[in-house]
Amino acid sequence: MHIPDGYLGPATCGVFYAIMLPIWTAASRIVKKTLQVKQVPILAIGAAFSFVIMMFNVPIPCGTTGHAVGGVLVAILLGPWAACIAITVALVIQALLFGDGGITAIGANCFNMAFVLPFVGYYVYKAIGFNAPADSNRRVLAAGIAGYIGINVAAVFAGTEFGLQPMLHHTAAGQALYCPYGLNVAVPAMAGEHLLVFGWVEAIVTALVVKYLQKQAPDYLQAKEA
Amino acid sequence: MKITTKLWIGLAVLVVLSPLGLIIPDHFKAGSAWGEWGGDEMQKLIGYVPQGLEKLSSLWNAPMPDYAFKGWEEKGLPQLSLAYVISAILGILFVVLAVILIGRMLVKKGG
């Protein structure tokens, strides 16, 4: 889901930077108010976890690969605003150091993976886990479903961003200038592979770690989120 | 053992296992992720390289492109796996440093 440079036109890139700016500002303001000093190591671990889990590429039959993001887990542990910051850090390092995701697309990639994914995941988790005790199986199930839905909604956004490009930018002869695939191809491709494979990876990773924390550190599941 | 210590150990295990994210796709001959093709792959897919894509795709020269060292594109899987692990370590190092810096700026002292 890391959109590279050259797949989105300048307008789309600009719009998503413009959308992310106030989100990043709000995230900083909210995290400043709520995050405690002792939570910073967990935030660092969460960001590092998201970074490294994205290196686990999973192949699927049609010759392509994808991966989990781990962002819903960070949102469950620290709240969606702190998760937004953690995943943004991971995505920026990936783009700058490893060329994974474009520089011009940092706004769009952060919108999909550092905003849509943790927020959708967080509220799904809250809705399903509502009032369930911290050590209940319903929390584990909620975490899995939250991971699955979070990454899939993010994938649909990414597919839509890809798919709008041929409409927005093409030569007089009809050749695409950026991503050549329209909504009819990009959205089903992105949604399909995440519904079938990568969504399950995100679900299993999220549920397993929540299950582990229930045993090892239940207070992290009850902690007040940022 | 503190839970944070256990989680750091968990991360270290993931770092060691990370080459699986390289080796398994290679085994199944999987190509790039959808929408992350290079110019050559695009040429094969649609018969041309979109002009804007060609221009912008070389905009940024990452120091370790694709989690490998520059010029290692033709190296075998063992070397690429080593580079992958080193990338994971460096990446985590930078991510953790960045979060600690941001934490310093944001979090109130003694909170």
Q: Domain of A163: which CATH number?
A: 1.10.1760.20
Please answer yes or no on whether B107 and A89 come within 8 Å at the CB atom.
Answer: no
Res. B99: pLDDT tops 90: yes
DSSP strand E in A16-166: where? 58-60, 64-66
The residue assigned the tokens 């990936």 is: A94
Helices H, strands E: what count in chain B? 5, 0
A4 within some domain: no
Q: What total number of domains does chain B contain?
A: 1
Give CA–CA dist B44/B35, Å, rounded: 14
Q: What value of ipTM does the predicted structure carry?
A: 0.94
Q: What is the mean pLDDT of residues B71-77?
A: 86
The domain in which residue B11 lies consists of 3-32+64-106
Note whether residue A2 is domain-resident: no
Whether A80 contacts A214, CB under 8 Å: no
The answer to whether position A155 is within a domain reads yes
Closest CA to B62 of B92, B91, B41, B42: B91
**Structural domain for A111, as ranges:** 10-222
For the residues A73-78, what does the mean pLDDT come to?
95
Could you tell me which of A63, A62, A80 has the C-alpha nearest to residue A71?
Answer: A80
Nearest CA in chain B to A159: B35
Confirm or reject contact between A72 and chain B (CB < 8 A): no
Residue A36 maps to a domain: yes
DSSP state of B76: -
Instruction: Please check whether residue A150 lies inside any domain of the structure.
Output: yes
- Asked if residue A3 belongs to a domain, the reply is no
Given pLDDT bands bounded at 50, 70 and 90, which one contains residue A223? low
What does DSSP assign to residue A59?
E
Residue B111 included in any domain: no
Q: Based on the structure, what is the number of domains in chain A?
A: 1
Domain-located, residue B71: yes
Task: Give the nearest chain A residue to B99 (CA atoms).
Answer: A44
Judged by CB atoms closer than 8 Å, whether chains meet at A48 and B30 is answered as no
CB contact under 8 A, A216 and B14: no
Q: Do A4 and B57 touch (CB under 8 A)?
A: yes
Q: Is B44 among the domain residues?
A: no
pTM here is 0.95
Model pLDDT, residue B111: 45
